[in-house]
């Protein structure tokens, strides 16, 4: 694995050699696989021309699992062995799954390390295994359609997926025998499909309304770096709710009780969905209901009635949109593009509403069901090296942490290992000494605790910090890794605005073997590093106490201390100085505590003197 770049400029691996790469949208309801062929990204169909693969797996005793449409068709009759919506439980523990409660009809058994397993006629299966089954099916489809083994795969995940959900998705990919290049956030993939990554900068809203979930994400692109500013949504909102509303209306019109017969209700749901699809293109749709007595009701669902049924559901997307803008600290006017994702955004009413929420016409050219898979395919094609080497490389992960040196030769990690890039992160630091006007920033890479065990990448200095007491200056250090793998680090003092920055290119010179060794070392030395870190922390603490006391003695020692008192304090001070360079953490701590006790009275007197000075010349009632 390359470090921050997949291919260095001018060192691309044989661009003429086309390697097979695909993007996979592993969805809650449906999944898709796409690839770039002759420069055009598109989804791949199965032998029967179907692009969408229902994310449903049916386990049968003594037979191979069945995936997709065939499994979906059996869901109603065999719900316990037909697993749908497994994405909702990926990376979740057994307790989380229980709280998801009634929404999932399966029986769960605890598996290894708290991972739930689903009980089926064919045995117990973890969510990872179920997802792997879906991925395997897409792999077979891709290999049949592209005519060879896959060299690289990008799988998309929701932007809000946490580490364990991402890890579970990656594990599913590995289990399915897929060479997973990386995971990509779904909203980012949608933005990539529209080529938004080629813009210089912008803020984008990705509005994703599918069958069962609604997600809204705000992304910011800045010099090739996509940042997820905020996400919100509703995990139980989508086209299915509309199907229910329409089906209930149809049954009411036909004079049939909603809770009547389950078969009739299921049929009504299917017909309601078909009518909804028709109404995305036509002003009305013909509907019918077969009553339990065999008679048939025929009716028409007109646009006005339809809108009245679905509007309350569409309106429920408004609050999350407002919230996400508030969380991202932006207004609709800041948004430069709106991308629509998910089958339900085919509805004209949904498009209109998205347009009014964000005050701009959404992008709709790409099929909203396929847009995420297409973006993933474009990324996979670049990552596998099918594009010329100067093509913008959007994403990768950093295999070693990046940070800066802090007092005591320790490393404060700012971007953690395995973070996907592009990425931007900021952290605040304070000044260490009274009157400090400059700060040296030393950028390092590695996962060890001490700077001496990490790789030095760059040094620069922030000057022009206004003199303040120690700890009062606030310096914000920002790390940004752009699409080309370029790391830039900037530092800014927050009160004065003094700024300084440097561009670093850390990918040169560190081989895969070196990365591996550094990772191995960080594990082997974890304990030792921890001890070293503790020691350094105590030493830094000691230095701070010594420096503060020295300046207090110089200022007020003569005025506020008797000769004996001063001697006593200086004795404790020299004791601390003598143990400071040793390796005994407890001894240094002891020295600090002793000195602290010995100087408490002195500190109190200084405070009184300070107050007296501040009050002199004023009457007490001025402060009342």
Q: Which of 62, 75, 80 is nearest to 120 (CA)?
A: 80
If the CB atoms of residues 280 and 478 are measured against ligand AMP, the closer one turns out to be 280
Site for ligand AMP (CB under 6 A): how many residues?
17
Q: Does residue 210 touch ligand AMP according to CB under 6 A? A: yes
Strand order in the sheet with 56-58: 66-67, 56-58, 82-84
If the CB atoms of residues 263 and 270 are measured against ligand AMP, the closer one turns out to be 270
d(CA 310, CA 308): 6
Q: Does residue 342 touch ligand AMP according to CB under 6 A? A: yes
Residues within window 2-41 making contact with ligand AMP, judged by CB under 6 A: 29-30
Q: Give me the torsion for CA of 527, 531, 532, 534, rounded to 10°.
A: 140
From 46, 129, 186, 337, the catalytic residue: 186
Structure tokens at 19: 């390697």
If the CB atoms of residues 213 and 436 are measured against ligand AMP, the closer one turns out to be 213
Q: Does residue 353 touch ligand AMP according to CB under 6 A? A: no
d(CA 120, CA 81): 5
Whether 315 sits among the annotated catalytic residues: the reply is no
Q: Does residue 239 touch ligand AMP according to CB under 6 A? A: yes
Structure tokens at 552: 């207090």
* Closest approach of ligand AMP to the CB of residue 307, in Å: 13
* Closest approach of ligand AMP to the CB of residue 382, in Å: 25
Q: Which of 51, 92, 276, 448 binds ligand AMP (CB under 6 A)?
A: 276
From 87, 139, 276, 387, the catalytic residue: 87
User: 75: which residues sit within 8 A by CB, 6+ positions away?
Assistant: 56, 58, 82, 84
If the CB atoms of residues 210 and 473 are measured against ligand AMP, the closer one turns out to be 210
Residues within window 355-374 making contact with ligand AMP, judged by CB under 6 A: 369
Q: How far is CA 484 from CA 388, 393, 422, 506, in A?
A: 13, 6, 8, 11
Q: Which of 36, 32, 242, 62 is nearest to 137 (CA)?
A: 32
Q: Does residue 240 touch ligand AMP according to CB under 6 A? A: yes
Structure tokens at 336: 């430069």
Q: Does residue 277 touch ligand AMP according to CB under 6 A? A: yes
Q: Could you write out the three-class secondary structure of 213-224?
A: CEEEEEEEEECC
Q: Which residue is nearest to ligand AMP (CB)?
A: 239
* Closest approach of ligand AMP to the CB of residue 343, in Å: 2
Cβ neighbours of 424 (radius 10 Å): 18
Q: How far is CA 126 from CA 79, 92, 97, in A?
A: 17, 10, 12
From 46, 129, 197, 208, the catalytic residue: 208
Segment near ligand AMP (CB under 6 A), from 154-162, 176-184, 273-281, 310-318? Answer: 273-281
Q: Which of 280, 311, 389, 501 binds ligand AMP (CB under 6 A)?
A: 280
Q: Are 242 and 269 in contact (CB under 8 A)?
A: no
Q: Which of 51, 139, 220, 273 binds ligand AMP (CB under 6 A)?
A: 273
Whether 95 sits among the annotated catalytic residues: the reply is no
Residue 441's Cβ-count burial label (10 Å; 0-12, 13-18, 19+) is buried
Segment near ligand AMP (CB under 6 A), from 35-43, 80-88, 107-115, 232-240? Answer: 232-240
Element (H, E) at 37: strand 30-37
d(CA 587, CA 275): 79
Q: Quickly list H helices, 525-584.
A: 526-560, 563-580
Segment near ligand AMP (CB under 6 A), from 143-151, 164-172, 233-241, 395-403? Answer: 233-241
Q: Does residue 223 touch ligand AMP according to CB under 6 A? A: no
d(CA 322, CA 339): 16
Whether 87 sits among the annotated catalytic residues: the reply is yes
Segment near ligand AMP (CB under 6 A), from 112-120, 151-159, 235-243, 528-536? Answer: 235-243
Tell me the per-residue interface mask from 289 to 328 with ligand AMP, x by CB under 6 A, - otherwise.
Answer: ----------------------------------------
Residues with a catalytic annotation lie at 25, 87, 186, 208
Positions in the binding site for ligand AMP (CB under 6 A): 29-30, 210-211, 238-240, 273, 276-277, 280, 342-344, 346-347, 369
């Amino acid at each position: 694995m390359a470090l921050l770049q997949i291919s260095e400029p001018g060192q691309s691996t044989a661009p003429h050699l086309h390697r097979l790469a695909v993007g996979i949208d592993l969805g809650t309801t449906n999944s898709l696989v796409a690839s770039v062929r002759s420069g055009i990204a598109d989804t791949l169909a199965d032998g029967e021309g179907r692009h969408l693969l229902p994310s449903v797996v049916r386990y049968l005793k003594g037979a191979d699992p069945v995936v997709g449409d065939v499994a979906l068709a059996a869901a109603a009759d065999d719900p316990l062995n037909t697993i749908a919506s497994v994405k909702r439980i990926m990376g979740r523990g057994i307790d989380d799954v229980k709280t998801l409660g009634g929404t999932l009809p399966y029986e769960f058994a605890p598996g290894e390390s708290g991972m739930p397993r689903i009980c089926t006629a064919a045995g117990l299966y973890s969510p990872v295994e179920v997802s792997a089954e879906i991925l395997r099916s897409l792999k077979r489809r891709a290999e049949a359609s592209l005519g060879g083994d896959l060299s690289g795969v990008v799988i998309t995940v929701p932007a809000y997926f946490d580490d364990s959900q991402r890890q579970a998705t990656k594990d599913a990919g590995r289990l399915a025998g897929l060479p997973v290049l990386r995971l990509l956030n779904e909203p980012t993939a949608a933005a990539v499909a529209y080529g938004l990554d080629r813009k210089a900068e912008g803020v984008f809203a990705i509005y994703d309304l599918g069958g069962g979930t609604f997600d809204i994400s705000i992304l910011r692109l800045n010099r090739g770096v996509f940042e997820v500013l905020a996400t919100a949504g509703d995990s139980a909102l989508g086209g299915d709710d509309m199907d229910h509303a329409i089906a209930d209306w149809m049954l009411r019109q036909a004079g049939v009780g909603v809770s009547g017969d389950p078969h009739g209700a299921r049929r009504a749901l299917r017909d309601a969905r078909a009518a909804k699809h028709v109404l995305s293109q036509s002003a009305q749709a013909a509907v019918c209901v077969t009553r339990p007595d065999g008679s048939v009701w025929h009716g028409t669902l007109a646009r006005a009635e339809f809108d009245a049924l679905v509007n309350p559901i569409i309106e429920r997307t408004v609050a999350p949109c407002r919230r996400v803008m508030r969380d991202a600290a932006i207004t609709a006017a800041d948004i430069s593009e709106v991308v629509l994702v998910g089958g339900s955004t085919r509805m004209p009413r949904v498009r209109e509403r998205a347009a009014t929420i964000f005050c701009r016409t959404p992008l709709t050219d790409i099929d909203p069901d396929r847009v995420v898979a297409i973006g993933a395919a474009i990324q996979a094609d670049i990552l596998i090296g099918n594009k010329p080497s100067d093509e913008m490389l959007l994403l990768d992960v950093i295999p070693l942490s990046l940070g800066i040196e802090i007092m005591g030769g320790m490393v404060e990690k700012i971007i953690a290992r395995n973070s996907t890039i592009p990425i931007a992160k900021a952290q605040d630091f304070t000044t260490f000494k009274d009157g400090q006007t400059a700060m040296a920033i030393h950028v390092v890479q590695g996962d060890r605790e001490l700077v001496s065990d990490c790789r030095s990448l760059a040094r620069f200095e922030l000057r022009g910090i206004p003199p303040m007491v120690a700890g009062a200056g606030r310096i914000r250090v920002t790390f940004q890794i752009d699409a080309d793998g370029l790391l830039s680090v900037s530092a800014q003092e927050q009160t004065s605005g003094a700024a300084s920055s440097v561009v670093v290119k850390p990918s040169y010179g560190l081989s895969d073997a070196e990365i591996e060794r550094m990772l191995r070392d960080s594990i082997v030395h974890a304990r030792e590093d921890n001890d070293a870190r503790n020691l350094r922390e105590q030493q830094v603490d000691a230095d701070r106490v010594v420096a503060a006391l020295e300046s207090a003695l110089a200022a007020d020692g003569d005025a506020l201390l008797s000769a004996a008192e001063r001697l006593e304090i200086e004795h404790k001070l020299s004791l601390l100085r003598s143990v400071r360079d040793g390796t005994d953490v407890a001894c240094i701590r002891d020295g600090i505590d002793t000195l602290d006790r010995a100087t408490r009275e002195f500190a109190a007197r200084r405070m009184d003197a300070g107050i007296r000075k501040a009050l002199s010349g004023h009457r007490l009632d001025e402060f009342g």
